Amino acid sequence: AQTVTQSQPEMSVQEAETVTLSCTYDTSESDYYLFWYKQPPSRQMILVIRQEAYKQQNATENRFSVNFQKAAKSFSLKISDSQLGDAAMYFCAYRRLSGGSNYKLTFGKGTLLTVNP
Amino acid sequence: NAGVMQNPRHLVRRRGQEARLRCSPMKGHSHVYWYRQLPEEGLKFMVYLQKENIIDESGMPKERFSAEFPKEGPSILRIQQVVRGDSAAYFCASSPALAHYNEQFFGPGTRLTVL
């Protein structure tokens, strides 16, 4: 079974600084998707960024970028120029690309990010 | 295009009562997924439904929990005889089809508190 591990329960960053959130996962699949979701205090789940495992290029979305290391099964999220609105719980998630149960998202336990003014 | 709607946003039940959680998928979406988030945990898959069909309920507790997605109307997650351990946030997500590239769009969740 796939597992997703976020080893940092909490992180903090100064406004305008850069922070990196860690995520590792375990799978025997070769093709899959990885995601970072943001859950602000409203509890709405918001997709931040997505990475296809078959793509070597790291995904970027404005101030958000990932460092995807497939061999190491590592998928970290870098937030540049942190803003107060980035404060939230961040979840790393995995999903198979094909085959049975490829609709299931498997989530880590989350990292609570605090942004200090 | 309205997003995924869930209601109620907050639900309080006493032990032994029934809880009914509703989810209206995005317009044009025919696939619905329910996830549960226990305190201090990530979301965990419960069930995947298409219109009038349960495709995968492998994440649902065997007893007291049921889900449906009728031809007309919202998807319903029903919890009978609730216990304190059912207190959690329940999220619904929808997608237009089961294409591998399709994103699941999440609703705002229903927070269930069992007294």
The alpha carbon of residue B42 is apart from the nearest alpha carbon of chain A, in Å, by 4
> Could you tell me if B96 and B5 are in contact, meaning their C-beta atoms sit under 8 angstroms apart?
no
Interface contacts (A, B; CB < 8 Å)? 54
Tell whether B72 lies on the interface with A, counting CB pairs under 8 A: no
On the CB side of A12, CA atoms within 13 Å amount to 3
CB contact under 8 A, B42 and A109: yes
Q: Hey, is the C-beta of A102 within 8 angstroms of any chain B C-beta?
A: yes
- Which is more confidently placed, B96 or A5? A5
Confidence band, pLDDT 50/70/90 cuts, at residue B99: low
Q: Is the peptide bond before B61 cis (omega within 30 degrees of 0)?
A: no
pLDDT for position B1:
55
Q: Does residue B97 have a pLDDT over 80?
A: no
pLDDT at B98 over 70: no
Q: Which of residues 18-57 of A touch B (CB under 8 A)?
A: 33, 37, 42-47, 50
**In this complex, is the C-beta atom of A91 within 8 Å of any C-beta atom belonging to chain B?**
yes
CA A112: distance to chain centroid? 12
Return the number of other C-beta atoms located less than 10 Å from residue B88's C-beta.
20
Amino acid, res. A65: S
Q: What percent of chain B has pLDDT over 90?
A: 77
Q: List, as one string, the DSSP characters of chain B.
A: ----EEE-SEEEE-TT--EEEEEEPPTT--EEEEEEE-TTS-EEEEEEEETTEEEE-TTS-SSSEEEE--SSS-EEEEE-S--GGG-EEEEEEEESS--TTPPPEE---EEEEE-
Measured CA to CA, the distance from residue B21 to residue B64 in angstroms comes to 14
- What HEC string does A11-53 produce? EEEECCCCEEECCEEECCCCCEEEEEEEECCCCCCEEEEEEEC
- Indicate the residue of A42, A103, A110 with minimum beta-carbon distance to B98: A103
pLDDT in tens, B11-27: 999 999 999 999 999 98
| B42 has a chain A CB within 8 A of its CB | yes
Is B79:B65 a contact under the CB 8 Å cutoff?
yes
Say which residue, B80 or A99, is predicted with more confidence. Answer: B80
Does the beta carbon of A90 lie under 8 angstroms from any beta carbon of chain B? no
Q: How far apart, in Å, are the Cα atoms of A70 and each of A58, A94, B60?
A: 11, 13, 31
Q: Are B75 and B6 in contact (CB under 8 A)?
A: no
Residue B101's pLDDT is 62
Tell me which residue in B59, B104, B108 faces A43 most closely, judged by beta carbons: B108
Q: What is the DSSP letter of A59?
A: P
Quick one: average pLDDT of B51-66? 93
pLDDT of residue B100: 54
Place of tokens 């997703």: A4
Intervals of chain A under pLDDT 50: none
Q: What is the mean pLDDT of chain B?
A: 92
Cβ-proximal residues to B101 (8 Å cutoff; 6+ apart), any chain = none
Look at the block and give the residue holding tokens 């898959």. B45
B103–chain A Cβ distance below 8 A for any pair: yes
Read off the pLDDT of each residue in B104-112 and give the average, rounded to a whole number.
93
Q: Which pLDDT belongs to residue A83?
A: 97
